[in-house]
Amino acid sequence: MEKILIVGAVGGGATAAGQLRFYNKDAVIKIFDRDSVMSYAACGTPYAIGEVIEDEETLLMADPEQFKEKRNIEVYLRHEVMGIDREKKNIQVKNLMSGEEFLESYDKLILSPGGTAVVPAIKGSDTADIFSLRSYNDMLAIKQYIESHNPQSCTISGGGFIGLEMAENIKELGIDVHLVHKSDYIMSILDEDISREIEKELLLNEVHLQTNAYITEIDGRSQTLSNGGVLETDFIIMSVGLAPNVSLAKDAELEIGETGGIVTNDYMQTNDPDIYAIGDASENFDLVTGEPKRVPLAWPAHRQAYIVAKHIIGEPIAKKGLLGTSIVKIFNLTAAMTGLNENKLRELEIPSVSLIHNGNSNAGYYPDHGKLKLKIHYDPNTREIFGAQCLGTKGVDKRIDVIATAMYAGLTVDDLQALELCYAPPYSSPKDPVNMAGYKADKK
């Protein structure tokens, strides 16, 4: 009977186990995770902190008993995988509760160890209440701190996805929020003009923003910034990045790529064909450029789990490149993007032109319509779409999802005008913004 071991029981790991059991009723499947909870929705944790999600336990999708009962999958929580012996095809596991160590053999091994929040070493860090948000237990720690300390102010370091979601959710609790961001503008995956609109939304909602600034020293409630400024706040949230958990893979001499992720082939196999790597710790490639790319988001982790399951059962489906399609809510605004942004196109010296369509999310006469900005980068000669970004109060997700689909299908920017998209006044216009962008490209 085939024996499949999985490291990591959340986004990619739990999904891979479920998919494998769906296709293979007989295999022995065991999952190991060093954490005390499994299969939770990490993406919901900022909203549980902000009490938009009232019961944080709704984020817990399954527990080991359910996995055993419903799927005959054994899950070992508080068990850390310490090493991989590729010759003998076993892993070394440490039971973190008892301290006991044991070996577990495998036929196939799936690594889905995710990443760890980067917490920079800053002088005086030990004098302050500092948190990062990576896991369910990180969320509980932040919630418990807020409940027990009743803080009035917070500094968030890092204006990426998690930093912005935390800024909104903490502000909504009535806590004064200072957001500091190291570079010139927040959300560096977006184009500057889109990011600047988000900055305005933050200011409108009384989040104090400082760009070109980072914390250099901490002394209790006081934080000195690189620009000479000083902030006085009750606690700090560090959201400056994610380091892929690749030490296990490195120690086992699995290849690590230029993005810092574990190199994988079309079927998510590492350079050892019996070991797969998926999720935040795996390296993939960019759909547009073919360059190595690592996208630490939930969609790739889930898709890759499926690709691995299909490969193991002998029905291989090759992975496709990633676009990094993503979305974020900032108070009343939503920003979404897919593909390459202006900076990346410039850096790679790819000749491109951009069009911007400013319009409405849906019929202008319908009460709750909103403004929408849609921006598309494309090749002026071949008309290939390189990437798109959208900003607005409504319907942003739909437009970017349509363009991401168009990119996967290899449609050109001119094809966008001919897409027959759904319309009724509450949702769109007879010519959807995506169609309008296609017509505009034609005029250009």
Q: How many CA atoms lie within 13 A of 94 on its CB side?
A: 8
Q: Alpha-carbon distance 39 to 58, whole Å?
A: 11
Give the distance, in angstroms, between the CA of residue 107 and the centroid of all CA atoms in the same chain.
30
> Which of the residues 43, 154, 390, 422 is marked catalytic?
43
**Residue spans of alpha helices (H) in 271-415:** 298-312, 342-347, 396-409
The answer for 98, left when phi > 0, alpha when psi is -120 to 50, beta otherwise, is alpha
> Closest distance between ligand FAD and the C-beta of residue 424, in Å?
28
412, 383 contact by CB (below 8 A): yes
> Closest distance between ligand FAD and the C-beta of residue 133, in Å?
5
Structure tokens at 380: 């002026």
207, 171 contact by CB (below 8 A): yes
> Closest distance between ligand FAD and the C-beta of residue 136, in Å?
9
Q: Alpha-carbon distance 356 to 197, whole Å?
A: 14
Q: Counting Cβ atoms within 10 Å, is residue 149 exposed (0-12), middle (13-18) or buried (19+)? A: exposed
Q: Alpha-carbon distance 335 to 200, whole Å?
A: 13
428, 396 contact by CB (below 8 A): no
> Closest distance between ligand FAD and the C-beta of residue 221, in Å?
25
Strand partners, 326: 337
- Please name the residue that has the structure tokens 């360059």: 291
Structure tokens at 300: 């790739």
Q: Alpha-carbon distance 180 to 313, whole Å?
A: 48
Alpha-carbon distances of 387 from 146, 225, 438, rounded to whole Å: 40, 35, 14
Packed helices 396-409 and 433-443: angle between N→C axes, nearest 10 degrees: 60
Which of residues 113 and 438 has its CB atom nearest to ligand FAD in the complex?
113
Closest CA to 378 of 408, 354, 350, 402: 354
Backbone φ, ψ for residue 280 (5° rounding): -55, -30
> Closest distance between ligand FAD and the C-beta of residue 399, in Å?
18
> Closest distance between ligand FAD and the C-beta of residue 40, in Å?
8
> Closest distance between ligand FAD and the C-beta of residue 94, in Å?
9
Which of residues 248 and 355 has its CB atom nearest to ligand FAD in the complex?
248
Amino acid at 412: T
Position closest to ligand FAD via CB: 279
Which of residues 16 and 225 has its CB atom nearest to ligand FAD in the complex?
16
Rg (CA), the chain: 23
Determine which helix (DSSP H) or strand (DSSP E) holds 150, and give its type and residue range: none
The verdict on whether 43 is a catalytic residue reads yes
Which of residues 139 and 413 has its CB atom nearest to ligand FAD in the complex?
139
Which of residues 142 and 385 has its CB atom nearest to ligand FAD in the complex?
142
Which of residues 50 and 124 has its CB atom nearest to ligand FAD in the complex?
50
Which of residues 298 and 437 has its CB atom nearest to ligand FAD in the complex?
298
Amino acid at 270: T
Contacting residues toward ligand FAD, per CB under 6 A: 7-13, 32-35, 42-43, 45-46, 80-81, 112-114, 133-134, 162, 245, 248, 279-281, 296-299, 301
Give the distance, in angstroms, between the CA of residue 170 and the centroid of all CA atoms in the same chain.
20
Which of residues 156 and 281 has its CB atom nearest to ligand FAD in the complex?
281
Give the residue numbers marked as catalytic.
43
